[in-house]
Amino acid sequence: MNTADVVVVGAGIIGGSIAWRLAQQGVRVTLLDAGAMGGEASTAGAGMLAPGGEVSQHSRWAELAVDSLHLYPEFAAELSTETGIPIDYRACGAVELAAGETEWSKLTSRARAQKAVGIPSHTMEAAELAALNLGHYRAALFYPEDAIVDPGDVMRALRAAIERWGVVLHEKTRVLRIEPAQAEVSLAGGQISAGLVVLAAGAWSSQLLEGVVESYPVKGHLLGYDLPPGSLQPIVRHQHTYILQRSNGFTIAGSTSERVGFDRQISAATVATLHKRAHRCLPMLLPGAPKKVWIGFRPGAASDDPQVGRLEGTRAWLAYGHYRNGILLAPVTAREVVRGIMSSSGTD
């Protein structure tokens, strides 16, 4: 394989976005993935762009999550315009439900902290709640800025965009290890030397920089239902359960969080429990069993925050550990990494 300015390891939504943005700057990029581009967490995710459901206190990454949400309309529109591929993006808002006074008190307390980060919300009126057929729930907050995107659409557009900009993509190419000081990537069939290497391999990142970074998979079950388009407008959330609907009516309920390694087995008991939780939120919409069930591996990290930035003293950059928010944080992660690379010593 040829020498590149930058090698990006991991062709999910994070790695793909970084490769696209670097190529737009005139950087020669090689993008590698052990499987198919976007074949793991990126397309398994529901596509909820919802700081309102994730952020509970002020932090740098809380601010970046809000920033990335605001970047999304332009991010999706630019990708779609460049490639001609439509992207199902919708700023639909989100309803956060409370069952009882204790939950309501916690919800409103969190909302006050969120407003300091720039996440607006307001109490829903009883008539608004009744119109959504939300079972026995009688109190909720509405987050007007939360949105959804179909990550499958984003990945299809990213594939076309990187091809347009000349990124060299190698799928089914397993990386054995990365030498961060030399920016060398070892493969079963050879080696790539680069000016810089970006590690964006999600839950698999620690396997490539063993002893340097720590990543792990968090398995999640998701359910899919075929419903009439437009039958659910906002995201609906209650504690660890969420439900959202794509423009074509495909409705997704999630999710679970399981530290069980790279176990791809689907648990019938877990599916039944998740369906019961989703049905409790939307009894009128989800009376029957799901039509589709699948799992994904969220990329966890030793720190609670994503690991994004230069690995000190090396020619390697890190972009992993986004956990439940890889789809949401893709635009801002790409921006931060590309800014850092272009403002440093470059790709020398």
Q: Average pLDDT in the 256-260 region? A: 95
- Residue located via tokens 């990543």: 215
SS (H, E, C) 305-333: CCEEEECCCCCEEEEECCHHHHHHHHHHH
- Flag whether pLDDT at 119 surpasses 90: yes
Buried b (16+ CB within 10 A) or exposed e, 31-45: bbbbeebbbbbbbbb
DSSP characters over 104-122: HHHHHHHHHHHHTTT---E
Instruction: State the pLDDT confidence band at 182, using cuts at 50, 70 and 90.
Output: very high
- Flag whether pLDDT at 345 surpasses 70: no
- From 201, 196, 199, select the one nearest 25 (Cα to Cα): 196
Q: 10 Å Cβ neighbour count for 63?
A: 15
CA distance readout (Å), 201 to 41, 207, 217, 294: 10, 9, 11, 21
Rg (CA), the chain: 20
Instruction: State the pLDDT confidence band at 130, using cuts at 50, 70 and 90.
Output: confident
Tell the CATH topology of 4-85+151-215+302-343.
FAD/NAD(P)-binding domain (3.50.50)
The structure's pTM equals 0.95
CATH architecture of 91-145+216-301: 2-Layer Sandwich (3.30)
Contacts of 276 (CB under 8 A, 6+ apart): none
Instruction: State the pLDDT confidence band at 288, using cuts at 50, 70 and 90.
Output: confident
Q: Tell me which of 289 and 13 has the higher pLDDT.
A: 13
| 28-40 per-position pLDDT tens digit | 999 999 999 999 9
Ordered by start, the domain boundaries in the chain are 4-85+151-215+302-343, 91-145+216-301
Task: Tell me what pLDDT residue 136 has.
Answer: 77
- Flag whether pLDDT at 297 surpasses 50: yes
Return the percentage of the chain with pLDDT > 70, whole number.
Answer: 98
Q: Is the Cβ–Cβ distance between 75 and 91 less than 8 Å?
A: no
Q: Average pLDDT in the 290-301 region? A: 96
Task: Tell me what pLDDT residue 3 has.
Answer: 57
The whole-chain average pLDDT of the chain stands at 94
| 48-62 per-position pLDDT tens digit | 999 999 998 889 999
